[in-house]
Amino acid sequence: MESSDPWLDAAVRRFVQTKAMTERAIAQLSDEEFTRRPSPGFNSVAIIIRHLAGNMISRFTDFLTTDGDKPDRDRDGEFQDWPGTRGELMKRWEKGWSLLFDTLETLTSEDLAKTVYIRTKPHTVPEAIIRSLDHTGYHLGQILYLSRLLCSKEWKYLTVAPGKSAEFNAAMGAMPARDRKKQ
């Protein structure tokens, strides 16, 4: 998606990168690792995925016209163990992301000046989008940490692997500028 607003385009690119990195991390986990709580009182990766999906579904359904914390959302229930299959949870994850991307795709430059509400608190549209970026980024960090901690096979690094910074920088420098922008 390319809009007429460079800021909105940058936000969408960051969301795309966050989603992709999260999915590459969880793809390395078995179903048991995906649902395992590392310790009592800690969330599993599945719980965090469930929470993020619930958050996006609530926030981006009727984004410009209703409060971002919908009355039918069960936020507390999102932190309970997922009762369904991994596939069912990932369908919910995709639903959340689809709502987010579909909403962002419809926004105009004029919409960026509007006010939306989250738990009755007013936010400009950019503030609400940044809030969502912060929220997904925060939980991405948790998912990456947990995935690496719980993964029983050799971990495939999703960013620059330790000891590979110079190699990575050289490869980036050799890449055309238009391709570096996508990284």
CATH number at residue 133: 1.20.120.450
The predicted model gives 46-72 an average pLDDT of: 98
The pLDDT, as a whole number, for residue 60 is 98
Q: Residue 54: pLDDT above 80?
A: yes
Q: Is residue 182 part of a domain?
A: no
Residue 179 lies in a domain: no
Q: Are 117 and 67 in contact (CB under 8 A)?
A: yes
Output the pTM of the full model: 0.90
pLDDT at 29: 98
Cα separation, 65 vs 116, in Å, equals 7
Q: Would you say residue 14 lies in a domain?
A: yes
Residue with tokens 């919908």: 70
Q: Is residue 165 part of a domain?
A: no
- Degrees (nearest 5) of the Cα angle 121, 125, 132? 80
Q: How many domains does the chain have?
A: 1
Q: What 3 state SS string does the chain have?
A: CCCCCHHHHHHHHHHHHHHHHHHHHHCCCCHHHHHCCCCCCCCCHHHHHHHHHHHHHHHHCCCCCCCCCCCCCCCHHHHCCCCCCHHHHHHHHHHHHHHHHHHHHHCCCCHHHCEEEECCEEEEHHHHHHHHHHHHHHHHHHHHHHHHHHCCCCCCCCCCCCCCHHHHHHHHHHCCHHHHCCC
pLDDT value at position 3? 64
1 in any annotated domain: no
Span 144-159, average pLDDT: 93
Q: Which residues have C-beta within 8 Å of that of residue 36, sequence separation ≥ 6? A: 44, 150
Is 46:92 a contact under the CB 8 Å cutoff?
Answer: no
| Stronger pLDDT, 178 or 81, i.e. the higher one | 81
Asked if the structure places residue 98 within a domain, the reply is yes
Listed ranges 79-88, 155-164, 169-178; the one with the highest mean pLDDT: 79-88
Evaluate whether residue 163 is within a structural domain: no
Q: Is-contact 89 80, C-beta < 8 A?
A: no
pLDDT band at 174 (very low <50, low <70, confident <90, very high): confident
Does any domain span residue 15?
A: yes
What is the domain extent for residue 11?
A: 6-158
Ramachandran sector of residue 41 (left: φ over 0; alpha: ψ -120 to 50; beta: rest): left
Q: What is the pLDDT of residues 90-134, one digit of tens each?
A: 999 999 999 999 999 999 999 999 999 999 999 999 999 999 999
